[in-house]
Copies of this chain bind each other. A is one copy, B any other.
Amino acid sequence: MTTESKAATASAAPAVSAPLPLTERQEARRRRILDATARLAVRGGFDAVQMREVAESSSVALGTLYRYFPSKIHLLVATMQDQLQQLHGTLRKRPPTEEEPAARVAQTLMRAFRAMQREPHLADAMVRALTFADRSVSAEVDTVSRLTTAIILDAMGLAGPPTPAQLSAVRVIEHTWHSALITWLSGRASIAQVKIDIETVCRLIDLTSPSTGNCQEV
């Protein structure tokens, strides 16, 4: 039908930053792969996503799967990107209702958390991949990180651009978010505990708000 050209040679992944011209069939393959991955992950988490199964399940040869995603970690991080994008869309449509930035961020993260609770195995696969990723995946992980940052900044509902202090706070919130998820996924923290941790770290935002009580004495 269409053009099956030379694209997608080095890294077929980025899709956002540099959507190398993929033909329709290639785009379709990529999507089949990501969908199959999510499907398998929903069933049994990280371990259930087996490269041979993903390949078979998306009607693609194993070698092709590896051409699109150079490792299982790459594949799962790309899946996370995919899911985050959907989440970001959803959140844009229904922004947080709270007034204060800190509360808005906490509310948003709790929504995201609830989404993960709905598919804990999928969350497991994605989060484990994200934190296990080594340097060879840093570009992709960075994309995910930027997406997360964007979601949090969105939630804050700032008027102007964020201050450096605010960006620092957001970084720490992200750290806490990832790590808290991990403790929950590995059964070492309850849902309630994660909620508390999120609310605790969100107080950092208050410290950076120029209008409200910024009373550090450093």
Contacts and interface: CB of A to CB of B under 8 A. Distances in A.
A25 interface: no
Interface in A63-80: none
Copies in the complex: 2
A215 interface: yes
A200 B204 contact: yes
Nearest to A214: B215
A194 to B, nearest CB: 10
Interface stretch (A3-11, A53-61, A88-96, A178-186): A178-186
Interface in A163-213: 168-169, 171-172, 174-176, 178-180, 182-183, 186-188, 193, 196-197, 200-201, 203-204, 206-207, 212-213
Contacts of A141: 186, 188
B203 A207 contact: yes
Given A135-B187, A186-B134, A216-B213, A175 B168 contact: no
A128 interface: yes
A145 B188 contact: yes
Contacts of A117: none
A44 to B, nearest CB: 12
A200 B171 contact: yes
Contacts of A145: 188
Contacts of A178: 175, 179
A132 to B, nearest CB: 5
A24 to B, nearest CB: 34
18 contacts: A128-B132, A131-B131, A131-B182, A133-B186, A138-B186, A168-B200, A172-B197, A175-B179, A175-B201, A176-B201, A201-B201, A203-B207, A203-B218, A206-B216, A206-B217, A207-B207, A212-B217, A213-B217
Given A172-B172, A175-B178, 6 more contacts: A128-B132, A135-B187, A168-B197, A175-B180, A175-B201, A207-B207
